[in-house]
Amino acid sequence: MKNRILQGLIIVAGASVALAWTGTGDGLKLAAGSKLWVEGTSTVRDYKCTSTALEATVDASADAVRAVLSGTKAVNSVQLVVPAKTLDCGNGTMNGHMLEALKAKEHPEIGFRLVSYDLASGDGGEKGMLNGVLTIGGTDQTIAFPVQLVDGTAGALRVTGKYELNMKDYAIKPPTLMLGTMKVHEKVTVNFDLLLKSQLEN
The span from the CA of 123 to the CA of 148, in Å, is: 10
Spans of the chain, pLDDT less than 70: 1-26, 178-180, 202
Hey, what amino acid is at 85?
K
Query: Residue 129, Cα to own-chain centre: how many angstroms?
Result: 14
Q: What is the pLDDT of residue 200?
A: 75
Q: What is the pLDDT of residue 54?
A: 97
> Strand, coil or helix: what is 98?
helix
Residue 77: its H or E element: strand 75-83
- Domain extent listing, the chain: 26-198
Q: What is the pLDDT of residue 118?
A: 96
Q: What is the pLDDT of residue 179?
A: 64
Report whether 107 contacts 140 (CB < 8 A): no
The span from the CA of 126 to the CA of 124, in Å, is: 7
Q: What is the pLDDT of residue 24?
A: 39
The span from the CA of 36 to the CA of 75, in Å, is: 21
Q: What is the pLDDT of residue 15?
A: 34
User: Which residues are within 8 A (CB) of 31 and not within 5 positions of it... i.e. 6 or more apart?
Assistant: 152, 154, 156, 195, 196, 197
The span from the CA of 116 to the CA of 141, in Å, is: 15
Q: What tens digit of pLDDT does each residue of 53-93 get?
A: 999 999 999 899 999 999 999 999 999 999 999 999 999 98
Q: What is the pLDDT of residue 199?
A: 84
Q: What is the pLDDT of residue 13?
A: 36
- Region 26-198: CATH code: 2.40.128.110
